[in-house]
Chain A
Amino acid sequence: MRSHGFPGSSTACETRPVRVLVAMSGGVDSSVAAALLVESHGADHVVGATLKLWGGDADSGCCSVADVDDARRVADQLDIVHHVFNFSADFDAHVVEPYVAGHVEGRTPNPCIECNRHLKFDRLLDRAAELGFDAVATGHHARTVRDDDGTWRLLRGADPAKDQSYVLSMLGQDQLSRTIFPVGSMTKTDVRVTAARLGLRTAAKPDSQDVCFIRSDAGRAGFLGDRVPLHPGRLVDHDSGADLGEVAAVELVTVGQRRGMGHGTDGRRRFVTAVDVPARRVTIGPPEASYASVLALHTVAWVDGAPGALSGGVLAALAQCSAHGVSVACNVRTADEGLVVTFAAPQRRVAPGQTVALYDSGRPDSVVGSGVVR
């Protein structure tokens, strides 16, 4: 097996792309990614690009002018050309509008995953190919390796605390073959040490948090409230169906949510088990009701096509249901143009719209595929 995750390593020589477009968000990870590519490929073969994704107000993330400035100045320091690509119309259409529509329908989409699916690893890859680049690099903490038979694998990043393979779990062979994650083999500490050693201005910049297009002072409630009407609803008991009171906005409630749901007469906390926006109804129950053994997924993506075990049978896998959740054993079978995941032990309910990443049960750091919860 040849490593490809870290193009500075000697084993990557044979497959080293000639020209690389590195996506620079203005953060430390992509700054170091660009710096490593310049070391391995030479400044003439690396170009930086910052994506302008969000036209509205933002206080962090990839979209603010301050972040573009940071990216440009790092590119200047590395002596590479830097462009800004305006993908805001696609970002609206594929990320922001579905995010709003999802909440209106009681789903909780993951905007980072949809951005990776539609922007960074679709639109940007197309743009890179059009401009004559052989590959796109990003600052994600994940690794790619190529098996002896030529198959690309997507592996967890070397730093377990920063692993981002979950938000990349929709990538397939075509994308992986043209993608480089230069910092995927490094710990976050290594990344910051490297940035400091190179004197990059982003070395001590805090990691971005939260959803990039939502301002922290407005929050999700402010963002959604500016765009769609929010409706009060009834809180209903999971077991008895009894009316337990009012909730301010059903659109803002997420399955699995605990905050604001209070305690039952038994003194135990209550969790959201279902959200029905059209009926203006939020169902809550005790801890045991917040668990489920079965999940249905749509929008299924496979790293290397559907595993053979699935055809007429069951795939044993590990499922990870959130960006930094633990992965748990499950069985996966096909059903209704999607997948049904059955956990070995009941798991906290996952909100519709969230993504479940599947990992290889025999090789737990290797992504098999993913799907979106129905």
Chain B
Amino acid sequence: MSTAPAEGHRAYLDHAATTPLRPEALEAMLPLLTDGFANPSGAHAESRRARIALDDARDLLAELLGAAPGEIVLTSGGTEADDLAINGGWEAVAAERPDGPPPAVVCTAMEHHAVLRACRSLAARTGAELREVPSGPDGLVDLVVLADACRPDVGLVSVMAVNNEIGTAQPLDEVARIVAEASPRAVLHTDAVQAIPWLDVVEAAGPAGLVSISGHKFGGPKGSGALVVRAGARVRPRIDGGGQERGRRSGTPNVAGAVGTAAALAVTVATRNETVARVTGLRDRLADGLLSSVPGAVETGDRSHRVAGILHLRLAGVESESVVVLLDEAGIAASAGAACSSGAVEPSHVLEAMGLDRREASSGLRFSLGVTTTGQDVDHALARVPGVVDRLRN
């Protein structure tokens, strides 16, 4: 067993928020940030060098994501990929019947805000009907309600691959079957941002026509992501300009970002099985330890459907905002769930989507583990968390 953590040890247990850069990604990026700085769109040797790096990165991403290179649209991250999918994907469907009513939109109520708010603004802007589908207590989308929402008038369905707060992997195969049968016009989008480190995304996101990923969730740099637009799916551009990314996303490509993201994805995929096995062991030890040492702690959702890296607990009678502050002082970086831009903690819409009340939705605590998490980190959390919760209850 591991030894007790040293004084001053900090356990970073917020990998679902962001991950440290993989050394492989940093190494791959550095030449593009120095000598290889050129704009890949030029007609000279410097540009050709950058173009080769970009094309290599795109090929690698495509291979690892089970797509063709032309199906990869590089973006500034997961939020932009979601925005392009929701708005651009919906507009492409709507354009097929320009005189018809605006196609309806279906998404789960537990989507990341990047999807949820994009769907809500789209509905407000276009008059399209938005159907938000709740989840069950197991943290999985309610397929009965989803089936009811998926009618022939639907143009876009968005169901995340893995929930970012509670870590449950959603039944995308069944979702895809429902959509194909009941909403033949609809394009299926999945936000796979949290799936990459833990699931075989070729398989997990396979049924979706549009797939969002974000580099910094798996050891790549921030500011780099992609939307996979599979054959048969189309998107209208959200950013017009020089026509980069085959006209689907203008703007000088972030070459170093794409290269770093591809390198991080390569090492993530190559080592996934061992990472998942190791992190599952750490997560289960943390979960079982806290569930037995913290009275009243409840694990959210069904662990059998949860990816390896995430543990979500609800701590009756304490506010997660306070827990996070005291854990920080105790050397543990954890998260209360969704944080808004000001840094304040919002009651979790994910927990509310599962039918929990506002009070319960404010008592959530997420520990998210990753490649760099050690047994010492888990020991540290097991040693400190019970005391913090106990202190808040007295």
* Chain A residues near B (Cβ < 8 Å): 50, 52, 65, 68, 72, 83-86, 88-89, 127, 130-132
- Are B342 and A84 within 8 A (Cβ)? yes
Q: Residues of A contacting B391 with CB < 8 Å?
A: 130, 132
- Are B326 and A131 within 8 A (Cβ)? yes
- Are B342 and A68 within 8 A (Cβ)? yes
Alpha-carbon distance between A130 and B322 when the two chains are bound, in angstroms: 8
Whether B67 sits at the interface, judged by CB under 8 Å, is: no
Minimum Cβ distance to chain B for residue A275 (Å): 35
Alpha-carbon distance between A84 and B342 when the two chains are bound, in angstroms: 7
- Are B343 and A68 within 8 A (Cβ)? yes
Minimum Cβ distance to chain A for residue B347 (Å): 7
- Are A85 and B321 within 8 A (Cβ)? yes
- Are A131 and B345 within 8 A (Cβ)? no
Q: Residues of A contacting B342 with CB < 8 Å?
A: 50, 52, 65, 68, 84
- Are A83 and B326 within 8 A (Cβ)? no
Q: Residues of B contacting A84 with CB < 8 Å?
A: 342-344
Asked if A130 meets B344 with Cβ closer than 8 Å, knowing A83-B325, A85-B321, the reply is no
Asked if A86 meets B346 with Cβ closer than 8 Å, knowing A65-B341, A130-B392, the reply is yes
Q: Residues of A contacting B177 with CB < 8 Å?
A: none
B residues 301-349 in Cβ contact with A at 8 Å: 321-322, 325-326, 340-347
Whether B238 sits at the interface, judged by CB under 8 Å, is: no
Whether B358 sits at the interface, judged by CB under 8 Å, is: yes
Complex: chain B residue closest to A52, CB-CB: B344
- Are A86 and B358 within 8 A (Cβ)? no
- Are A89 and B343 within 8 A (Cβ)? no
Q: Residues of A contacting B325 with CB < 8 Å?
A: 83, 131
- Are A89 and B358 within 8 A (Cβ)? yes
Number of A-B residue pairs, CB cutoff 8 Å, is 33
- Are A83 and B343 within 8 A (Cβ)? yes
Minimum Cβ distance to chain B for residue A66 (Å): 10
Complex: chain A residue closest to B394, CB-CB: A130
Complex: chain B residue closest to A65, CB-CB: B342
Alpha-carbon distance between A52 and B346 when the two chains are bound, in angstroms: 10
B residues 153-192 in Cβ contact with A at 8 Å: none
Q: Residues of A contacting B321 with CB < 8 Å?
A: 85-86
- Are B322 and A131 within 8 A (Cβ)? yes
A selection of 23 A-B contacts at a CB cut-off of 8 Å is A52-B340, A52-B344, A65-B341, A65-B342, A83-B343, A84-B342, A84-B343, A84-B344, A85-B321, A86-B321, A86-B340, A86-B344, A86-B345, A86-B346, A88-B344, A89-B347, A89-B358, A127-B322, A130-B392, A131-B325, A131-B326, A132-B326, A132-B391
Q: Residues of B contacting A132 with CB < 8 Å?
A: 326, 391
Q: Residues of A contacting B322 with CB < 8 Å?
A: 127, 130-131
Q: Residues of A contacting B344 with CB < 8 Å?
A: 52, 84-86, 88
Alpha-carbon distance between A50 and B321 when the two chains are bound, in angstroms: 13
Alpha-carbon distance between A132 and B326 when the two chains are bound, in angstroms: 9
Chain B, residues 342-365, CB within 8 Å of chain A (1/0): the string is 111111000000000010000000
Looking at B321, B326, B342, B392, the one whose CB has the most chain A CB atoms below 10 A away is B342
Looking at A65, A83, A86, A132, the one whose CB has the most chain B CB atoms below 10 A away is A86
Q: Residues of B contacting A131 with CB < 8 Å?
A: 322, 325-326
Alpha-carbon distance between A309 and B96 when the two chains are bound, in angstroms: 83
Alpha-carbon distance between A170 and B238 when the two chains are bound, in angstroms: 54
Q: Residues of A contacting B343 with CB < 8 Å?
A: 68, 72, 83-84
Q: Residues of B contacting A130 with CB < 8 Å?
A: 322, 391-392
Alpha-carbon distance between A72 and B347 when the two chains are bound, in angstroms: 22
